[in-house]
Amino acid sequence: MTSKTREMRIYRYLYLLLPSWCVIMIIEFSVENFRSFKDKVTLNMDSSSSKKISQNLINLDGGNNLLKSAVIYGANSAGKSNLIKAIDFMKGMVMNSHTFNVNSKIPFVVPFKLSKGSQKKPSKFELIFHCGGKTYRYGFSCNSTKVFEEYLFETSKKKEKLVFSRSDSIKFEFGIDAEKQKLYQSQTIDNTLYISRATQLGYDKTKNVYDYFSENIIVNMNLNHVDAFNWIDYTLAKMKEDSKFKDKILDILKKADFGGIENILIKTQKVPVKKVTFSFSNVDPDFESTDGFDDIYKVQTIHRTDDGEIVYLDLNDESEGTKKTLSILGPLLNIMEENKVLFIDELDSSLHPEITHMMVKLFNSKKNKSGQLIFTTHDTTLLDNELFRKDQVYFCSKEPNSFTTLSSLLDYDIRQDIDFERAYLNGRIGGVPFIDETLYD
């Protein structure tokens, strides 16, 4: 698909009134000059005209559709995780930049370093999404000290309207509420996003966008590290408070053959902890430690012996795959039920391919109305033409000492009925590592 064709398809959604249940959806995400990305790359959740695997589509009024999920492949160091880091950075800036003072550095923004020209340019981010009955186009560019460009457009009743735009850091233009917005502008410093500051000062026209980033975009960079504990705690807390939710989790575990788990008992107890808070109030980050209490979960799974006797196992005695599945299932079901967007790096880590396959198929099923899942993986067994459409499959590629490119399976002369996995492993499409055979000489 050419960039011009994609642009034309995106603009269908700028003039589209979506059904009331379709609360929030990503249409397109773009990033430029960030980490391994030098040129602009775009992840497009617009669907092609193909009618294949229709359950993988979010059906919209007017016959248009968006994708429920997208999978990103690539060799190690190809940059696929950097796409997840890019949306994570964008979300963090929207949520937190109002806390910066004039001396604060913008953290975690890293331009493409293998080009002297790129090192001097800002990183750029743009998201087109639907929220609360309107379509928004929001973007900004920045380096570690300054926001250079920022803009917000909203579309309602088939017309795109400027809310605000910002250039050269301090030059603003307002399409609505000009006098009111000038007050918020005067309190926005160079290294702070206007959308973050204006929302904190009570401006309702930016609040929808701020809330979308803070509440509806969920990012997990690596489920093998600290975030995994937060996610499994979410699943356990939700199971403890909601018996119907617990029944759904147990039903999935039973049907997916998780070692005969019949039930899960969850109790909480308070333990003393040191609570650490973090702020960007100065050039160097501030840490503050206070005494407090946290709830910890005492979790037991119930099994049966071969003669039917009940056996209680501590959750820590279960496999890493079982624990990781629990950590993902809670957020995954939440995304499906509340129509949010979930970004996961390395979804398949510590999971059997059949379990990863089950999760993706569940998410793409009719049980999910408009939640969206975007994830990276090395699991080539997911490259199944009965699991994914061509427009759902992306590849990150990078030559040595070069930059990351992002391509879709649509960009290749590949039919929907061909063996995706074989085509990928045979090098017919991008994203596989090149190994010099002289290594073995």
Q: Is the pLDDT of residue 133 over 90?
A: no
In percent, the amount of the chain with pLDDT more than 70 equals 86
Looking up tokens 């604060």, which residue turns up? 104
Per-chain mean pLDDT for the chain: 87
Identify whether 319 is part of a domain: no
Higher pLDDT: 194 or 23? It is: 194
Q: Which domain holds residue 34?
A: 1-225+339-441
Note whether residue 294 is domain-resident: no
DSSP 119: H
If pLDDT is split at 50, 70 and 90, which confidence band does 128 have? Answer: very high
Rounded to whole angstroms, the Cα distance separating 117 from 114 reads: 9
Considering only residues 93 and 292, tell me which one the structure prediction assigns the higher pLDDT.
93
Quickly state the pLDDT bin for 439 (edges 50, 70, 90).
very low
What is the structure's pLDDT at 223?
Answer: 47
Torsion over CA of 20, 23, 29 and 34, rounded to 10 degrees? Answer: 160
Residue 362 burial (10 A CB sphere; 0-12, 13-18, 19+): middle
The answer to the question of residue 390 being in a domain is yes
Structure tokens, 331: 């957020």
What is the C-alpha to C-alpha distance for residues 174 and 159, in angstroms, rounded to an integer? Answer: 16
Q: Answer whether residue 104 is part of any domain.
A: yes
Residue 239 belongs to a domain: no
Bridge-based pairing state of the strands 134-142 and 123-131: antiparallel
Instruction: Express each pLDDT in 197-232 by its tens digit.
Output: 999 999 999 999 999 999 999 998 654 444 445 788
In angstroms, rounded to a whole number, what is the distance separating the alpha carbons of residues 227 and 388? Answer: 28
Using an 8 Å Cβ cutoff, are 398 and 79 in contact? yes
Could you give the C-alpha distances from 96 to 182, 309, 378, 429, 432, in angstroms and in order?
21, 53, 32, 39, 37
pTM to 2 decimals?
Answer: 0.86
The CATH number assigned to the domain holding 45 equals 3.40.50
Whether the predicted pLDDT of 23 surpasses 90: no
The confidence score (pLDDT) of residue 60 equals 84
Question: pLDDT at position 324, please?
Answer: 87
Lowest-pLDDT range, 8-17, 32-41, 137-146? Answer: 8-17
Cα distance between residue 134 and residue 160, in whole Å: 10
**Is pLDDT at 158 greater than 70 in this prediction?**
yes
Q: Let me know: does 192 contact 100? Beta carbons within 8 Å.
A: yes
What is the model's pLDDT at position 307? 92
Distance CA 20, CA 132 (A): 8
User: 275 lies in a domain?
Assistant: no
Instruction: Taking residues 150-179, report their average pLDDT.
Output: 94
Q: Is residue 259 part of a domain?
A: no
Tell me the per-residue pLDDT of 282-338, one tens digit each, with 9 for 90 and over. 445 555 666 777 778 899 999 999 999 999 999 999 988 898 899 899 999 999 999
- The pLDDT, as a whole number, for residue 82 is 97
Residue 303: inside a domain: no
Catalogue the E-assigned strands of 253-362: 263-279, 286-304, 310-314, 341-344
Give the confidence band of 276 by pLDDT, cuts at 50, 70, 90.
low
Q: What is the pLDDT of residues 378-422, one digit of tens each?
A: 999 999 999 999 999 999 999 888 999 999 999 998 899 899 999
Number of domains the chain contains:
1
Q: Give pLDDT, residue 38.
A: 98
Answer whether residue 16 shows pLDDT above 70.
no
